Amino acid sequence: MPVRLRTAAVSDVGGYRTANQDAAFAAPWGAAVADGVGGGPSGDLASAALLHRLVAGRMMLPDAEALAVRIREANWDLRAHAERDASLRGMATTLTGIFVSSSGRLLVAHTGDSRAYLLRRGVFTRQTRDDSYVQALLDHGLIAPEDAASHPRRNIITASLRGGEDDTTSVVDRDVHIGDRWLLCSDGVTDYLPEDDVRRVLGVAVSPATAAASLVSLALEAGSQDNVTAVVCDVDFVQQASGNHAPTFYGAAADRFCEELETA
């Protein structure tokens, strides 16, 4: 039987930023979060433009290769923006998303330091590896895991999407279990909430909406100095055909490019 995602998202500008550079979307066939890279121009435009271009058109893609092509095409849009307006050169964004393939598998896409987590039958695991300076230090044993969240250079990322031909995104094919709960989030959540707290919230929340709202609220209470975005997705059976498969946008993506999209 085909599967779908029951999704919900919350995105908050936070108490220390004047603009929300996080963007997210959620739909029965997929969800993603993109975080505009700080220190560069128009991070909100980068994250919003990437997601809107990514989900335009038919999104039940057959395999990981097809999704990688779609991401590459969306990335070209960032280059087109910069070519039209020189002030946008250097804008960039992370991307972390999950997509149900037409064969019923789950495709996980990732670049940057936004994260994906999976809660399956009570077992909580991180499904992405940060493309970041701090992760490189961890990999080489130069800092302890407990020091990563407070490291002064924790916001330096080593991979992003900026419209370049050499930009890379990891896309992997995963099995799907009914009852799986996925979390996609920006570093405004994970830099301020211990993973044990994230696991607890995902385990007790009765719905994706409750889980997403709780995580964002807790991150803000913990003093998050960044934009804060959480997307929670529960894997379920398709009970009946639905006429509305259009994505819902959040954060920067809700404020920009809200023209009608052809979806299926």
Residue pLDDT tens, the chain, 264 long:
588 999 999 999 999 898 999 999 999 999 999 999 976 668 999 999 999 999 987 677 889 999 999 999 999 999 999 899 888 888 999 999 999 998 889 999 999 999 999 999 999 999 999 887 777 777 777 777 766 766 767 677 788 999 999 999 999 999 999 999 999 999 999 999 999 999 999 999 999 999 999 999 999 999 999 999 999 999 998 765 555 588 999 999 998 765 434 443
Distance (Å) of CA 20 to CA 23, 46, 56, 209, 251: 8, 12, 22, 20, 6
In a domain, 112, yes or no: yes
Structural domain of residue 246, as residue ranges? 3-255
In a domain, 233, yes or no: yes
In a domain, 260, yes or no: no
In a domain, 262, yes or no: no
In a domain, 232, yes or no: yes
Residue 138: CATH number of its domain? 3.60.40.10
What residues pair up with 233 in beta bridges, in sequence order?
7, 182
- pLDDT at res. 39: 63
Tally of structural domains, the chain: 1
Q: How far is CA 206 from the centre of its chain?
A: 22
In a domain, 222, yes or no: yes
In a domain, 81, yes or no: yes
CB 216 within 8 A of CB 12: yes
- pLDDT at res. 51: 96
pTM of the entire predicted model: 0.91
In a domain, 36, yes or no: yes
